[in-house]
């Protein structure tokens, strides 16, 4: 498929999305993409056109792009705010929460220094098998998941330019079979049957504190 056809399709999808949901009270931001593989030279101009298209359709809301590339995502300069998905301490630096925290804080500081825009950490979390406990916060224990989330939240709350956080995810869910997952994606703070894990109570304390 050529680039013009891809652009036309993306504009069509955005138009349909905004037409459907523009009056929904829960929609505060439009995102033109989630974790795009946008390392090709033409990606920057492509996303600029999607940003402009979205703004023409609805100028009342902010427009973003959810990135997994961080500073390598050159199109971030066009958007109203930055959304970043990060899993230091899980997919990278597994089990190393001190190093993970350092890398997250360093990246957030660098992003803000370059773009001077609000940042939302739009996806972060760690898997936990319900009922698995460990005194030393080993991966897949409820303690590790809770400590992972707590460390991320502390960093986010310490930065005045951070506009929000979104823990991934609400509840465990079924995924395709794979060696690194035991039946489910277990990043939920609730089980698949909606039983709370340790991280649920942690988030309640964080989000309800005065």
112 and 24: one domain? no
Domain around 60:
1-80
pLDDT digits (tens, 9 = 90+) for 17-50: 999 999 999 999 999 999 998 888 899 999 999 9
73 and 144: one domain? no
Cβ–Cβ under 8 Å, residues 30 and 64: yes
* pLDDT (0 to 100) of residue 38: 85
pTM of the model: 0.93
> Of 56, 80, 104, which residue constitutes the final position of a domain?
80
State how many domains the chain has.
2
Would you place residue 2 in the very low, low, confident or very high pLDDT band (cuts 50, 70, 90)?
A: confident
Residue indicated by tokens 């506009």: 163
> Of 52, 80, 108, which residue constitutes the final position of a domain?
80
> Of 38, 63, 80, which residue constitutes the final position of a domain?
80
Would you place residue 177 in the very low, low, confident or very high pLDDT band (cuts 50, 70, 90)?
A: confident
91 and 181: one domain? yes
């Amino acid at each position: 498929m050529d680039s013009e056809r891809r652009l036309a399709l993306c504009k069509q999808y955005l138009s349909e999305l905004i037409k459907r949901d523009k009056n929904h009270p829960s929609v505060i931001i439009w995102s033109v993409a989630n974790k795009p593989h946008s390392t090709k030279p033409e990606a920057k101009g492509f996303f600029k056109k999607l940003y402009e298209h979205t703004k023409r359709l609805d100028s009342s809301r902010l427009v973003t792009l959810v990135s997994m590339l961080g500073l390598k995502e050159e199109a971030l300069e066009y958007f109203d705010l930055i959304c970043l998905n990060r899993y230091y301490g899980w997919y990278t630096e597994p089990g190393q929460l001190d190093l993970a925290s350092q890398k997250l804080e360093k990246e957030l500081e660098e992003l803000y220094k370059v773009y001077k825009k609000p940042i939302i950490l739009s996806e972060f979390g760690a898997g936990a098998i319900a009922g698995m406990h460990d005194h030393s916060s080993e991966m897949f224990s409820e303690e590790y998941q809770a400590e992972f989330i707590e460390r991320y939240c502390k960093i986010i709350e310490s930065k005045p330019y951070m506009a929000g956080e979104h823990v991934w995810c609400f509840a465990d869910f079924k995924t395709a079979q794979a060696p690194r997952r035991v039946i489910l994606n277990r990043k939920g703070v609730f089980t698949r049957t909606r039983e709370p894990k340790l991280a649920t109570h942690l988030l309640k304390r964080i989000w309800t504190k005065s």
